Amino acid sequence: MRIGIIGGSGYTGVELLRLLSVRDDIEIVFISSRAQAGSRVDALFPSLRGHVDLLFSDPDDVVDAACDLVFFATPNGTAMKQAPALLEKGTRVVDLSADFRLKDFAVWEQWYGMKHASPEWVERAAYGLPEMNRALIRDAMLVANPGCYPTTVQLGFLPLLEAGIVDTESLIADAKSGITGAGRGASVSNLLAEAADSFRAYGVAGHRHLPEIEQGLATMSSKAVSLTFTPHLLPIIRGIHATLYARLTQEVDLQALFEERFKDEPFVDVMPAGAHPETRSVRGTNMCRLAVHQPQGRNTAVVLAVEDNLVKGAAGQAVQNMNLMLGLPETRGLQQPALMP
Active site residues: 148
**In whole angstroms, what is the distance from residue 64 CA to residue 89 CA?**
9
**In whole angstroms, what is the distance from residue 214 CA to residue 101 CA?**
12
Strands 142-144 and 92-95: parallel
Q: Are 320 and 267 in contact (CB under 8 A)?
A: yes
Side-by-side strand order, sheet with 126-127: 56-57, 27-32, 2-6, 69-72, 92-95, 142-144, 126-127
Find all residues with CB under 8 Å of 12, minimum gap 6, and list them: 73, 96, 310, 314, 315, 318
Q: Are 305 and 288 in contact (CB under 8 A)?
A: yes
Strands 268-270 and 288-293: parallel
Q: Are 221 and 164 in contact (CB under 8 A)?
A: yes
Q: In the chain, what's the furthest Cα-to-Cα distance?
A: 61
